[in-house]
Amino acid sequence: MPDGQTPETTATRPPSHIETTNITRGIESAWGSDPEYQRLIPTETDIASSVIDDMLAGRMTEEEAIRAVAARSAEGRVASGLDTTTGINNRNRLEERLRNIIGVARRGGAKLTIAFADLDRFKLINDTLTHDGGDAVLNAWGGVILASFRRDADFAGRYGGEEVVFVFPNTDELWTTEFMEGLREEMPTTAGEAVMGMGYELSSPATMSIGIAELSLDPEDKRPDEIVMRELIKTADSRMYLAKENGRNQTVNSRSEQQVKQQIELKKTNG
């Protein structure tokens, strides 16, 4: 669990008599690692216990028990606003939280920066590993993201497909760039190891392209928070696409944007 975060409840394992390797792995996979998800652990424990009772009574196989825990866990995640594949916020919850934070930041004059990250060549991963393997990569990526946070206020949400938006309240562009660069550099190793643990192997490193945008605090800007949020995401998204166009596996912010554009034009000129 990230430093400085204290969940309201503590995760507990099922009774020791059902601690077989497969069941334990299945339940842990269903639980996920999102700190905000920890508050659902008591419910998850009840789900696991009832399913395992059915298994021990011969009403379902061990494999069926694992699938049942995962399915019921997924329902709980959806209800709580979490994405079932990555374990981070889903898009609706991401936008709701971001919109509220933007409103607070604008009224209080506080800094706010977001990062828009996209896995590189994810279609190739899907084509090579099938959709199950692609989901395993996304699941591993979600774990990498959640493990990277060190502050309670920071969070991320799946925006669509293999796109994730990171939100860093009270943070400027420089700090966010350094954080995301560290995550980008660690991503191939950590994601690769996590995917191997799920029984898959990547033919090429899992990298990501990143765009960063800092909230503009203009006291004359009277637009609704929703519009400001859309513009902030669009700015980060467009910089992410610049990173893609410039060769992928890199981060683009307001300071490097013009230089990256020049590099792209130079490549087009030189053929």
Query: Which pLDDT band holds residue 26 (cuts at 50, 70, 90)?
Result: very low
Taking the C-alpha atoms of residue 149 and residue 145, their distance in angstroms, rounded to an integer, is: 7
| pLDDT tens sequence across 8-22 | 333 333 333 333 334
Q: What is the pLDDT of residues 164-218, one digit of tens each?
A: 999 999 999 999 999 999 999 998 888 888 788 878 888 888 899 999 999 999 9
Question: What's the pLDDT tens digit per position in 45-74?
Answer: 555 666 667 777 777 777 777 666 666 655
Do 117 and 240 belong to one domain? yes
For residue 22, the model assigns a pLDDT of 44
* The predicted structure's pLDDT at residue 132: 83
> Do 110 and 170 touch, CB atoms closer than 8 A?
yes
Contact assessment for residue 187 and residue 129, using Cβ atoms and an 8 Å cutoff: no
**Does residue 169 share a domain with residue 258?**
yes
Please, which residues have CB within 8 angstroms of residue 187's CB and are 6 or more apart in sequence?
A: 141, 144, 206, 207, 208
Q: Which has more pLDDT, 116 or 30?
A: 116
**246 vs 260: CA distance, rounded Å:** 7
Which of 80, 112, 136 terminates a domain? The answer is 80
> In whole angstroms, what is the distance from residue 51 CA to residue 59 CA?
9
What domain range is 201 assigned to? 91-269
Query: Which pTM value belongs to this model?
Result: 0.73
Cα angle: 109, vertex 113, 118; to 5 degrees: 160
3-state secondary structure of 214: strand
Domain boundary (53, 80, 107) is at: 80
- Average pLDDT for residues 28-44, to the nearest whole number? 43
Name the phi and psi angles at 220, rounded to 5: -85, -10
Residues in contact with 59: Cβ distance below 8 Å, sequence separation at least 6, in sequence order: none
Range 250-266 average pLDDT: 97
CA distance 84 to 90: 8
State the average pLDDT for the chain. Answer: 80
> Is there a domain that residue 11 lies in?
no
CATH code of the domain covering residue 245: 3.30.70.270
Give the lowest-confidence range in 149-153, 169-173, 260-264: 149-153
**132 shares a domain with 50:** no
Work out how many domains the chain is built from and give that number. Answer: 2
